[in-house]
Chains A and B, each alone.
Chain A
Amino acid sequence: MDNEILKVKNLKTYFFTRHGIVKAVDGVDFDLRHGECLCLVGESGCGKTVTALSILRLFDSPPGKIVDGQISYDGLNLTTCSSEQLRQIRGKDIAIVFQEAQSALNPVLTIGDQIIEQIKLHLPVDYARARDRAKTLLGEMGIPSAESVMSYYPHQLSGGMKQRVLIAMGLSCDPQILIADEPTTAVDVTIKAQILDIFLELKTSRQMSIIFITHDLAVVAEIGDRAVVMYGGKDVETAPVSEIIGNPKHPYTSGLIECLPDISKSTGKLASIPGTTPNPIKIPPGCAFHPRCPKAMEICSQQEPPETTISKEHKVNCHLYT
């Protein structure tokens, strides 16, 4: 398809540690289309964040290394391009918003300085214009009295404000793609709703392509167009959000959805998927999910499931459908 703006193919990012090879991302495929919000969903430790960091090669190297795969953006393979080329792309074409707003802002620089610096890094504007732009951006993020916030230090702002500042920083150079790494996890519910509104607004008004990383299916339902469910460093199901929620195919996806509390039913105990995410050093052979899967078959522990097409937009990696 033509309107794919970013293509990730068979991405494998391993960390070579003293205790063994951590296969944090082990063969992930997805593509991001122009103007859509793609959600990466999964439990902690399934490789969502490392996938995002891999796109801009931001993990520590060593020990981390992209051992295989392709990330194509604008005719460029981001896994092999030079670090100087990548630096030009970071922030200008692809920006990332981190989860912990508190630690993602430099404590000794004012908010204004941090945004202005960011703008001047990529755009050929002088200080005064960069400052105006920073102020406008903060205003657009719904920050009241942006002028005075510019002179604040990060510790003087609340968590939600800091998250908005981070988003403003991410947007400061009009990137094509915005990667948001759990931007709603560290804030409370009302702020969460406001932040989601910002992202929805970005999508509709700026036609921005967003990769939204979250473990919260409720968030996915609200802002996602399509979702990639990840497990054990692999993508296990890719589908439009309505399909993921209404017609999940992979037992893991259905498990996640069953875990959502339903206010209309009053069954005392909340459902959960038994067991924990696999140790990324020793990912089970075959399908990584089989030790926890209620529908596991013999073949599941022996052979990795191939990608199966359910419908044009719905793909799943599970032996149930082969």
Chain B
Amino acid sequence: MIKRLRDIIKRVSQHLRLNTRLINYYWQRTRRNKLAVSGLAFIIFLVALAIIGPFFTLDPTEANFEEKNIPPIGFVTEQSIYSIETDEFTTKEVPGTWKHPLGTDSKGRDMMAMIVSGARVSLQVGLIATGIAIILGTIIGVLSAYLGGWVDNALMRFTDIMMTFPFFLLLVLIIFIFGPSLAFIVLAIGLTGWTGTARLIRSESLSLRTREFVVAAKALGASDNRVIFRHLIPNVISLIIVIATLSIPGVILAEAALSFIGLGDPTVSSWGIILEAGQHSLNTAWWVAVEPGIMLFLTVLAFNFLGDGLRDAFDPKSNI
């Protein structure tokens, strides 16, 4: 067992050492695309924010009605305050404070803390759901292409059926039935989002399957399992990376959209949930809706730029 583990570690480290050349090559190609690099930079920033951010911010769940609806730094709003003694509304100018750089919401919670913990949630949703969808799609696509015949037919017709379902309606239905917990939302997005991946992987594997090295592997005694996992899947990895990068923003948006129509998990503060809460107070505190909106916008844009850049870098036919 230990020997086996050592084998694997040895191989992986050897691969990493050898592959620095290749990784370097792709990095050189990606680097020429300024948008992709800025996308990558933003994603790295976001990941860092999600991982270490919560240790430095205030508690995102702590409500404080004394400090509600404080605007972000540099903005001033007018708040009407009702006084019981005089039975009158008085208006008061409230400036942004450094204690709450991004302001507070209608319950006095710190927006900065909420945005940061929202980043964590949104990234989790994006990565896990995409992971599920990609794994499912890859397995279904490769099996379909490799086995062919009736298996291919059955799997692809099933994919067709999945594709004809209105994706969002299906999500709403699943969440309506099982309840709005984040785990179910992630699972539901993952289990419905694999169809496009399956199609792409299948078409790529179809052409790989007839390549001579697959026949050669079989000629040397490789089992079907081995052919699929050692020869087919490694050859579609670059495609998988691109699909994954490009589908993460879709997933994040899907979660936000679900939250926005009130089907999000109310126990976590994802960007969608904050946005949904903010829309009711657009008149008094516009920043509560705008801030998570901007973050969503930037995140989606960053992933899309990076995905496009990677696609160009991995495509040997493109001259960049």
A103 touches B220 (CB 8 A): no
Contacts A108-B234, A127-B10 given: A100-B220 contact, CB under 8 Å? Answer: no
Contact of B220 among A62, A151, A170 (CB under 8 A): A170
A91 touches B220 (CB 8 A): yes
A105 touches B213 (CB 8 A): yes
B18 touches A107 (CB 8 A): no
Q: Which of B35-43, B57-65, B222-230, B305-313 contacts A (4 or more CB under 8 A)?
A: B222-230
B219 touches A106 (CB 8 A): no
Within 8 A of B (CB), among A158-192: 166, 169-170
A98 to B215, alpha carbons, bound, how many Å? Answer: 9
A56 to B221, alpha carbons, bound, how many Å? Answer: 10
Knowing that A104-B215, A151-B18 touch, tell me 8 more A-B residue pairs with CB under 8 angstroms: A62-B149, A98-B212, A103-B213, A105-B213, A105-B216, A106-B234, A106-B235, A108-B234
Asked whether B3 is an interface residue with its Cβ less than 8 Å from the other chain, the reply is yes
A91 to B216, alpha carbons, bound, how many Å? Answer: 10
A58 touches B215 (CB 8 A): yes
Contact of A95 among B3, B213, B219, B234 (CB under 8 A): B219
Can you name the residue of chain A whose Cβ is closest to the Cβ of B8?
Answer: A127
Contacts of B231 on A, CB cut-off 8 Å?
A: 106, 109
Asked whether A121 is an interface residue with its Cβ less than 8 Å from the other chain, the reply is yes
A95 touches B18 (CB 8 A): no
Query: Nearest chain B CB to A105's CB is how many angstroms away?
Result: 6
Contact of A91 among B14, B149, B219 (CB under 8 A): B219
Contacts of A103 on B, CB cut-off 8 Å?
A: 211-213
A110 to B16, alpha carbons, bound, how many Å? Answer: 12
Contacts A121-B226, A126-B3 given: A106-B217 contact, CB under 8 Å? Answer: yes
A63 to B226, alpha carbons, bound, how many Å? Answer: 23
Residues in A lying within 8 Å of B, measured CB to CB: 56, 58, 62, 87-92, 95-96, 98, 100, 103-110, 113, 117-118, 121-122, 126-128, 151, 166, 169-170
Contact of A90 among B211, B212, B213, B221 (CB under 8 A): B221
A108 to B223, alpha carbons, bound, how many Å? Answer: 19
A108 touches B220 (CB 8 A): no
Contacts of B220 on A, CB cut-off 8 Å?
A: 90-91, 95-96, 118, 121, 169-170
A105 to B222, alpha carbons, bound, how many Å? Answer: 14
Instruction: Report the 7 A-B pairs with minimum CB-CB distance, sorted nearest first.
Output: A91-B221, A91-B220, A90-B221, A103-B212, A127-B7, A104-B216, A96-B219
A90 touches B235 (CB 8 A): no
Contacts A109-B230, A126-B7, A151-B14 given: A104-B212 contact, CB under 8 Å? Answer: yes
Contacts of B10 on A, CB cut-off 8 Å?
A: 127
Asked whether B237 is an interface residue with its Cβ less than 8 Å from the other chain, the reply is yes
Residues in B lying within 8 Å of A, measured CB to CB: 3, 7, 10-11, 14, 18, 149, 211-213, 215-223, 226, 230-231, 234-235, 237
B219 touches A90 (CB 8 A): yes
Contacts of A122 on B, CB cut-off 8 Å?
A: 221
A23 to B11, alpha carbons, bound, how many Å? Answer: 46
Can you name the residue of chain A whose Cβ is closest to the Cβ of B217?
Answer: A106
B235 touches A92 (CB 8 A): no
Query: Nearest chain B CB to A285's CB is how many angstroms away?
Result: 33
Contacts A98-B216, A117-B230 given: A108-B237 contact, CB under 8 Å? Answer: yes
Query: Nearest chain A CB to B4's CB is how many angstroms away?
Result: 8
Query: Nearest chain B CB to A106's CB is how many angstroms away?
Result: 5
Contacts of B11 on A, CB cut-off 8 Å?
A: 113, 127
Can you name the residue of chain B whose Cβ is closest to the Cβ of A86?
Answer: B221
A56 to B18, alpha carbons, bound, how many Å? Answer: 35
Query: Nearest chain A CB to B283's CB is how many angstroms away?
Result: 57
Contacts of A96 on B, CB cut-off 8 Å?
A: 216, 219-220
Contacts of A62 on B, CB cut-off 8 Å?
A: 149
A109 to B220, alpha carbons, bound, how many Å? Answer: 16
Contacts of B216 on A, CB cut-off 8 Å?
A: 96, 98, 104-105, 166, 169
User: Would you mind naming 29 contact pairs between A and B with Cβ atoms under 8 Å apart?
Assistant: A58-B215, A58-B219, A62-B149, A88-B221, A89-B221, A92-B221, A95-B220, A96-B219, A96-B220, A98-B212, A98-B219, A100-B212, A103-B211, A103-B212, A104-B212, A105-B216, A106-B213, A106-B230, A106-B231, A106-B235, A109-B230, A109-B231, A113-B11, A118-B220, A121-B220, A121-B222, A121-B226, A127-B7, A169-B216
A163 to B244, alpha carbons, bound, how many Å? Answer: 37
Can you name the residue of chain A whose Cβ is closest to the Cβ of B7?
Answer: A127
A98 to B219, alpha carbons, bound, how many Å? Answer: 10
A110 to B220, alpha carbons, bound, how many Å? Answer: 17
B234 touches A109 (CB 8 A): yes
Contacts of A121 on B, CB cut-off 8 Å?
A: 220-222, 226
Contacts of A92 on B, CB cut-off 8 Å?
A: 221
Interface centre among B18, B219, B220, B235 (most CB of A within 10 A): B220
A108 to B10, alpha carbons, bound, how many Å? Answer: 18
